[in-house]
Amino acid sequence: MFTHPDFFSGRPRAALEQSRPVPTTKRLEVYVHLERAMLAIDRLDETISDRLRDLMDSVWNDLSDEDLAWLNQRASTKPKR
């Protein structure tokens, strides 16, 4: 499970670089930021978060195989309510 304190603090690149060797592409950084926003919005309005999730598909589709592998190996990032 990814537990680095910077991961959800708005500094994902620092968290990625300090925790373990992982891809640090700009697209991965963008995706992590969007994912964090989507999870926060999901607590307020599922309709808006669903729209954002749909828009994120294009970023997901452009990620490298290495980035996708890193994202897929993570534990759930859904915040506790």
Enclosing domain of residue 38: 12-73
Residue 80 lies in a domain: no
Residue 53 lies in a domain: yes
- Which value, in Å, is the radius of gyration of the alpha carbons in the chain? 12
- Which of 16, 23, 19, 51 is CA-nearest to residue 37? 51
What is the number of structural domains in the chain? 1
Q: What is the pTM of this model?
A: 0.60
Please report the pLDDT score of residue 70 as a whole number.
85
Q: Using the predicted structure, report yes or no on whether residue 63 has a pLDDT greater than 50.
A: yes
d(CA 80, CA 60): 24
Residue 65 lies in a domain: yes
